[in-house]
Amino acid sequence: MAEILCANGWAQPPDGLSILAPEALHLDYRECRDFTCTTGLIATLAPRVQRAIGWSLGGSLLMQAIARGGLQAKQLVLIAPPVQFVSSEVFPHGMDRLTFDLFYQNYRNDPARTAARFSGLIAKGDRQSRQILHALGEWEGSHQAEIWHPWLDLLNEQSFDDYLISHLPPTLIIHGEKDAIVSIKQSEAFAAHVPQVTLQVWHDSGHAPHLHDLAGVRAAIADHARQLGLA
């Protein structure tokens, strides 16, 4: 069976995507502070990995590893990936600057309370919001500002152009139509610029389609893999 690597989202447990792929390897990037570090970690696993799945920030880490030559997967699955987290004049589909700056400061001042609010944003707009909040639970690791705050700096610096990777493997993007954290317009713009990307929009879903409909997302990933000749 092809080895699978999973990379979870910001302030989430490293093995949180085990519900999607119980047999997968999981990227634990809590000791990292930049993309170079995570690319190095991924590179140590790369000879074994044929399929890679990333949620939110985890998806960005996988794409960075591909761009830097640290990962050569045959299938890439991105769930609600930010390709430019904060809006700019040339890319207006990110979070507005004022909202990001406020979240940034709130997390610095009160990480536990802000992390709890972030879980609410993950579930916001989703028809299964209560189920998602229950699945997210209360993970104390999300309160560790010294680990997660540096990643906010990197999200702040993201540029859409950094992810227009010509050698991206066949890629499936699954994105919730009601996503309150990463606008669906980000994935639409990305798919329009990168021909090897297939975008599936999940209606009535927010930032966590895999928690909204686990069986459906697993089936979509498996179907995409079969089309590529992967087990």
What pLDDT is attached to residue 2?
A: 59
CA 151-173-191 angle, 5° bins: 100
Cα separation, 53 vs 228, in Å, equals 15
CA distances from 196 to 4, 7, 76, 98, 170 (A): 20, 21, 10, 34, 5
Assess whether pLDDT exceeds 60 at residue 140.
Answer: yes
As a whole number, the mean pLDDT across the chain is: 95
CA distances from 68 to 64, 73, 138, 177 (A): 6, 13, 34, 30
Assess whether pLDDT exceeds 60 at residue 45.
Answer: yes
- Tokens representing residue 42 in the block: 């991924």
The pLDDT tens digits for 147-165 are 999 999 999 999 999 998 8
Helical spans, DSSP H, in the chain = 35-45, 57-67, 97-109, 111-123, 129-136, 145-157, 184-193, 209-212, 214-227
The DSSP secondary structure of 6-59, one letter per residue, reads EE--TTS-TTGGGGT-TT-EE---TT--SHHHHHHHHHHHGGGEEEEEEETHHH
Q: Which residues pair with 25 in a beta bridge?
A: 5
- Tokens representing residue 37 in the block: 């570090």
* Mean pLDDT confidence for 11-34: 96
The pLDDT tens digits for 34-43 are 999 999 999 9
Q: What is the pTM of this model?
A: 0.96
* Domains of the chain with bracketed CATH: 3-227 (3.40.50.1820)
Assess whether pLDDT exceeds 60 at residue 1.
Answer: no
* Mean pLDDT confidence for 75-99: 97
